[in-house]
Structure 1
Amino acid sequence: MTTVKTLLGLPGLRLRPRAGTDLLDRPVTRIYVTELSDPGRYLSAGELVLSGLLWWHEPGDAEPFVAALARAGAAALAASGADSGGIPDDVVDACVRHRIPLLEVPADLSFSVITEQVVLALAAASESARKRLQAAAEAPVETLLERASAELALPCWVLSGLGRVVAGTAPLPMPPEEAVRRYAASEPGPLTVLPVEGRHAVPWLIAVGGALSTAQTELAEELAGLVGVTRARSVPRETPVPDEARVVALRTEGSDESRDVLRELLPGALLLESTGDTSYAATALPPSATELSTVEPLLRASRILCGVSDPAPREEARDTARHALAVAARRRGRVVVVPAGEVAGHELLLAGAPDGLRAALRRRVLGPLLDYDAEQHTDLVHTVRVFLECSGSPTRAAKALHVHVNTLRYRIGRASELLGADLTEFADQLDVYLALRASEDRPG
């Protein structure tokens, strides 16, 4: 890392500190030459500002200039005062007041020589930093971030595309999901964000706490590559899960991303089974619909479906999650999450039935009623459905259908004749209701 103190040791420059001698450890990231009286809009953090003080005419002129350097986080001011007989006290006082290191440039030294020497020093430091970072290539992500942060003199983080902090060297100055959103929308912000290399269902990002010079950007890109390699070769550490736990079943329709998505959503979860588009994991805390909606635009999958069991012995929980996933598959929407606790028992049972069996049940139980509706252009199937959902109450069903109760009784009697069942008997009601639920259409 190149610091202000490093510049004092460069051969031939003969720079002399005039203020801020206790601040010489500040990192220098680039050099900027200016004669503007207020260069604030053009400055970046870590810059060595080089000026011949042509903007200074009288006491008071230094205040806005040096204040702009301080606001921008400039590393130091290197100034030559040859035309005015040396650096004015006004400039020295302003640098002391704003805590900006001030280096005096010899009158016979060309700015081009200073620029060349500083650029070479920065390039050499950048190459050394890259080599030091590469030497830690086999280290965990946390170690890579610590090394990079020390070289950049800025905090660093690895963020998941889902808005999770994977690792970091300091508290993130904003919610991680906001940092990811800004990156995706190409919005400027206080962080510099770069993609981590690698092909994963859920991408990772490198975030650095500030604007970067060209050399710093190259180092951050090196970090992104190393983190990508580390991620690719690492085996997720699974947290021990008790025999009784929740099981999450996740399906990414049209892609084989389910395993990666589950591991990203539930770090540490115990992966039980994975068959490409569908994976199962035991976990203490299942994913939310919001989390899945966040990741959905990042995936190739046409839909994301999720079934979640209640806490139960693992094998029982896996079967329950599988059936809850089947219920999710029959619902509409690009992201569907079905907790088993929100699904009626008969729905879980039907969810496990193959499509062929469901169709056979529909035809065997409801066939005559379906044929009658088709021939007579009636809707007795709907009438029966409402009647059963009103717990077999003619009064409630008639009110729901906006018909007279006698009309309702007639229709139910006719439906009973066609079905060969007594729709006032619980067993027959159960058979017909299951057949009605089994005939529900899949989502389009």
Structure 2
Amino acid sequence: MFDYSKLPIRNVLCLDMKSFFASVEAVERGLDPMETLLVVVANKNRKGSVVLAASPKMKELYGIKTGSRFFEIPVNNKQIHIVESRMALYVNYASKVIQILEKFAPYEAIDVYSIDESWICTDGTEKLFGNRWEVARKIRETIYEETGLPSCIGIGPNKFLAKVILDIEAKKNGIAECKYKDVEDKLWPQKVEAIWGIGKRMQKNLNRMGIFKVGELATTPLNKLKERFGVMGEQLYWHSWGVDLSPVIQDWEFEEEQKSISTGITLMSDYGGEDTEIVILELCEEIGLRLRQSFLQCKTVYLGIEYSKDIGGGFGHSHTMNDYSCISNQIYKECISLFRKYYQGFPVRKVSVAVSNLQNFDNLQLKLFDEENQRDLSLSFALDEVKNKYGKHSIFKGVSLFKNATAKERANKIGGHNK
């Protein structure tokens, strides 16, 4: 048995907002999130559209869950609410949840994992809110009272165990805890694929080694796992014993230097060369704006193109310019040069643009630009002011009004989903 006596024991909660998008849509309609039949899809006009969230009742009665497809939903059932995603609304509710968490722990003790999951370290708050179980109950009650949303919480001495017990018990029971002494009874009987951090590919690799349960992973020699999977193998071994030394208090003073800026889009249909060039221009406009907002210039430009599924393949190439720039038109010229050099005439389905080799700029550096670039730069900053004041999608280039342009459509989306 592993000696846990020297490991830190923290009060870590892992919060999950149950069926978050679907619950928000239910609350907005005055419905009970736990009893309503509701599905959130990316696009109601596409039969193959992905289900982004489903209410607990939809999962229970029809097996519809995140990742299912629109055509799997029994649309003839009039009790089922089928709605399109509204990301701006979900982000707003997520912000409300974080504000509630800040009532129970300092900001640096809150680690937001995703839009609907967070870790909270409640060390030192016992006199204010009680022990870890009491504060977990209070957090759930406060979230429900202020937002109407259901939630569940896993409790552990570290992030990993809090997250694992959330997934295997708390999502059914509301609150659950896994201490170090519980690992053998609660964690080891689980299938490896049920454990956070183990995907399908890793599951297959472990199964080939005869490892199907977490307990079997724990009893596999560490050197064998390291030899097979490297650093990941070592992490798998320690996680199987419930060991996780990742920090539970965030150090917000650390700031990593930004190394690149990228953007891209998967197109709704196959595009030819001329229409693809319009999309490239729109992406370069976005890249330029982000560079200037961050007071950065780039020297290396990358263009990635993926062809239609029927064709397969594509290309990705980069070019380093002679001088640094934050002007969208210059980035576009580099991308178009790459596109026309490598494009083979096949239908395009995905376009990506990235810039790297970044450096900060100041006013003195900008004065070194030649007259033409100074004019382009002045115009860029003038347009940036308009976008900063009225929104980044308040002004478009004329080509964005063309039929197959994407900027106006992307303006109505957050993270690729409807606002």
TM-score (ref. length: structure 1): 0.22
Structure that is richer in strand per residue: 2
Structure with larger Rg: 1
TM-score (ref. length: structure 2): 0.23
The answer to which structure, 1 or 2, has the higher relative contact order (CA under 8 A, 6+ apart) is 2
